[in-house]
């Protein structure tokens, strides 16, 4: 099973690239001794971006399982476990 269609994969990959850029900003801020408020704000943005990407991945997998029915590669229990791992 592939993850969604090409458009969905691009959207999720772009979200992950944004998170990667934000994480690079956090690292640079740490290395230069930036203000802790700025670091925490940037870190919160990274965390939020990763959470949203994770939820997009799980929701895409859930949608595919519903559409594919018996041919789905993930069970409902596995999807639930993936979803809850994001909490």
> Residue 56 maps to which CATH number?
1.20.58.1000
The pLDDT of residue 71? 54
CA distance 85 to 87: 5
The pLDDT of residue 66? 65
Number of domains in the chain: 1
The pLDDT of residue 72? 59
- Total-model pTM: 0.71
Residue 21 falls within a domain, yes or no? yes
The pLDDT of residue 55? 86
Residue 1 falls within a domain, yes or no? no
Instruction: Put residue 69 in one of left, alpha, beta given phi > 0 → left and psi -120 to 50 → alpha.
Output: left
Residue 36 falls within a domain, yes or no? yes
- Per the structure, the complete domain to which residue 79 belongs is given by 6-85
Instruction: Please give the chain's pLDDT, 87 residues, in tens.
Output: 566 778 888 998 999 999 999 999 999 999 999 999 999 999 999 999 998 888 888 888 777 766 665 555 777 788 778 778 877
């Amino acid at each position: 099973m592939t993850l969604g269609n090409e458009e969905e994969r691009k959207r999720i990959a772009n979200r992950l690239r944004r998170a990667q850029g934000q994480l690079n900003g956090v690292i640079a801020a740490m290395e230069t001794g930036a203000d802790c408020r700025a670091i925490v704000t940037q870190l919160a943005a990274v965390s939020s971006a990763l959470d949203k990407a994770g939820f997009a991945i799980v929701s895409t997998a859930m949608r595919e399982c519903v559409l594919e029915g018996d041919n789905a590669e993930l069970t409902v229990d596995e999807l639930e476990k993936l979803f809850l791992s994001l909490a």
